[in-house]
């Protein structure tokens, strides 16, 4: 069992509470809880308040998300982490650890939670490291400088009733999806199974999927993580996961437009923007009835 150094009584009590909660959750990591379909959720409690950190494919990813949130809320000296020094490559190097600490301090805690929930934290961190490497400062608030960076439009999509309907997906034209979001169309996996007389395993086709991470042009440069899926039967592409939330938050309707754009700078990051008609056609107000004056009285005609 890994030995964890306890620096003070407060951290010791916190560690004991986390271990007790961990045993009840069914996970070997702190802040990790099982989810349907074999996935794992990450959460953290701060002053009695629960912060949900998202759902992940395996326990390690969820545990790392918890560690990042713990460092954000409790500081870099917090010891009750899932991965101590020597196990977390991201914070092993001292210079790297200083960069991570600087990044966490430069963003509000709720902002870090949003990044983890949307699974865009690592992209944001890498962008900061690239900016430092290329000599770009951080005089502007996070996201503001990026939103003002030169961009080129990849393609735009006029929203149809099906795009904003109950199917919760945005159909992407095939030519645009294959040009700007390329993915492997045919994926075959071998599932391990008990040997039988006929075969020692099974093979199944999996629907190809790809994460498309975009930064919002407006709204303070918020990151959005979408899932682009390909359907072999219809040979079509559509953004599924993440679209419903974006649609609801921006209150988009049929006839509105979304634009996918890309930075022309060194990073090549993707952006998403939306447009709403500035003025919709309104019905003309009913014409006022004609008034004539007869024998000293006003009489309406019609």
pLDDT tens figures, 107-130: 888 888 888 887 888 877 877 777
Check residues 17 and 63 and name the one with the higher pLDDT.
63
What mean pLDDT is predicted for residues 77-90? Answer: 67
pLDDT greater than 50 at residue 13: yes
Give me the percent of the chain exceeding a pLDDT of 70.
64
Spelled out in words, what is the top-level CATH class assigned to the domain 9-135? Answer: alpha beta
pLDDT greater than 50 at residue 17: yes
Q: Tokens in use for 239?
A: 């953004």
In the chain, where the domains are located: 9-135, 146-275
Which residue is listed with tokens 């790809």? Answer: 210
Give 146-275's CATH code, choosing from 1.10.357.10, 2.40.330.10, 3.30.465.10, 2.120.10.30.
Answer: 2.40.330.10
pLDDT given at position 274: 92
d(CA 291, CA 299): 6
Report how far apart the first and last C-alpha atoms of the chain are (Å, whole number).
Answer: 92
Count other Cβ atoms within 10 Å, centred on residue 193: 10
pTM of the model: 0.55
Contacts of 161-166 spanning 24+ positions with Cβ under 8 A: 161/254, 163/254, 164/247, 164/252, 164/253, 164/254
pLDDT tens figures, 260-281: 999 887 667 888 999 998 754 4
What mean pLDDT is predicted for residues 84-96? Answer: 56
């Amino acid at each position: 069992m890994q030995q964890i150094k306890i620096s003070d009584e407060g951290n010791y009590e916190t560690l004991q509470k986390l271990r007790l909660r961990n045993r009840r959750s069914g996970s070997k990591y702190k802040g990790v809880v099982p989810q349907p379909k074999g996935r794992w959720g990450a959460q953290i409690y701060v002053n009695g308040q629960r912060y949900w950190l998202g759902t992940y494919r395996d326990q390690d990813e969820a545990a790392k998300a918890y560690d990042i949130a713990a460092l954000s809320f409790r500081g870099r000296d917090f010891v009750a982490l899932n991965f101590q020094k020597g196990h977390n490559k991201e914070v092993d190097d001292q210079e790297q650890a200083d960069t991570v600490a600087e990044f966490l301090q430069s963003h509000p805690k709720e902002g870090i939670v949003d990044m983890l929930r949307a699974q865009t934290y690592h992209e944001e961190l890498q962008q900061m490291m690239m900016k430092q490497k290329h000599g770009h400062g951080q005089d502007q608030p996070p996201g503001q400088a990026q939103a003002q960076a030169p961009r080129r439009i990849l393609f735009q999509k006029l929203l149809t009733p099906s795009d904003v309907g109950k199917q919760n997906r945005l159909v992407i034209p095939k030519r645009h999806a294959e040009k700007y979001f390329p993915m492997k169309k045919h994926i075959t996996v071998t599932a391990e199974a008990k040997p039988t007389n006929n075969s020692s395993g099974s093979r199944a086709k999996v629907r190809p999927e790809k994460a498309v991470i975009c930064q919002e042009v407006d709204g303070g440069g918020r990151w959005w993580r979408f899932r682009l899926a390909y359907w072999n039967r219809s040979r079509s592409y559509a953004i599924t996961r993440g679209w419903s939330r974006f649609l609801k938050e921006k209150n988009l309707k049929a006839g509105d437009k979304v634009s996918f754009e890309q930075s022309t700078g060194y990073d090549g990051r993707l952006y998403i923007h939306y447009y709403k008609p500035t003025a919709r056609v309104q019905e003309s107000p009913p014409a006022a009835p004609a008034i004539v004056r007869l024998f000293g009285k006003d009489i309406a005609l019609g």
